[in-house]
Amino acid sequence: MNGKLVRDRVILEEAAIAELYSTSYYGRPRDGKLELTLTEAAYLLGRERISISLDKKPLNFKEFVKTASNLMEKFELKYIVYKDLRERGYYVQPSVTDFRLYPRGGHPGKTPAEYFVRVVSEREPLPLTDIMRHLETAKNVRKQIILAIVDEEGDITFYDAKKTDMEGKMREVKTNGIKEEAALLGDRVIIWDPELAHALHHGSFFGTLLHEKMLQLSLVESAYLLKKKVIKIVDGKSGKVLSFKKFAEKATRIEPIFDGKYRTYEGLRDKGQVVKTGFKFGSHFRTYEQIDSIEKLTHSKYLVHAIPGDHIFALQELSRAIRLAQSVRKRMIFAYTTDKKVQYVDIGRTKL
């Protein structure tokens, strides 16, 4: 069955519709002929289901791949992913991302596609804005996004990406009506009052008890409690009471990324999450949806890392963060601020 390479498509005669489309859903019928994308054509040529000619000259597989690589950006990567998905038994068709993928047991005309698949090289920088644009496209047509990352050896790792709201179940900061001064000492804040220290730590899991009479708070925890008017903060050097603005300025000098971390921390706390440092896991925070007792601490569900809205992922860095999160049974969340609102994107490895 011979096809002709015309621009970036391979065109086959009408008989191919019954043999290739009606049974296996390759290509698209158009004007009484079957039109294949370059990836579909390469797959079928490699399986010796079709032959392909250009200007009446037959092309072998090597010649076709070289030609297709000049016609389609990232052809080699897309072919690797297309071939993998087809050999897993999926029906795959082109889409506004790279491919749309049908659920097992489904096919075009029977069920809607379930996923949009975006193909990316491990060496390719991946802007957060690209991920969010694809998520928005998928959302508009009720699809999910899969990132197919192809490494230098041609192996594929699949990641699912989705927006999440990060709703928790702990809204109220429990202080038993106590309001006391706290002191900024170096890069942390100390609450001296034992009752407030106990209430904040045991009631809402703020800070670390150095002993039962003294609570140590991180900069983001301190800023949150200051903004909520739960505590007053006094500069340990000058003895002056600090406004939220002054405290934030000092915190930013201590930690240049304080603003992004604080926005993320505040957003998570306001949504009812209990937020603690994620330093041991290589991220900014770990979060708990609910804590009933400090003594019976539940498993934290998420690792959260604050990034700027214009962040560009290095894929090895992304892979490392996700692998670590999943090795400790957590989901990896990236938080960023847009229009003064914190947004959360959940990226994790998935199996197809």
Q: Is 202 an annotated catalytic residue?
A: no
Annotated catalytic residue, options 26, 82, 288, 302: 288
Alpha helices in the chain (DSSP H): 15-16, 22-24, 38-46, 61-71, 75-87, 128-140, 194-204, 219-227, 244-254, 258-270, 315-327
Q: Is 330 an annotated catalytic residue?
A: yes
- Alpha-carbon span 147 to 265, nearest angstrom: 28
Q: Tokens 């949009």 appear where? A: 116
Q: Is 265 an annotated catalytic residue?
A: no
At residue 235, φ and ψ (nearest 5 deg) are: -65, 125
Instruction: Please list, in sequence order, all residues whose beta carbon lies within 8 angstroms of the beta carbon of residue 141, skipping any fewer than 6 positions away.
Output: none
Annotated catalytic residue, options 299, 340, 341, 351: 299
- Alpha-carbon span 318 to 324, nearest angstrom: 10
Nearest to 44 by CA among 86, 15, 101: 86
- Alpha-carbon span 228 to 174, nearest angstrom: 12
Distances (CA, A) of 92 to 101, 121, 154: 5, 20, 19
Annotated catalytic residue, options 143, 284, 305, 330: 330
Q: Which residues are catalytic?
A: 288, 299, 330
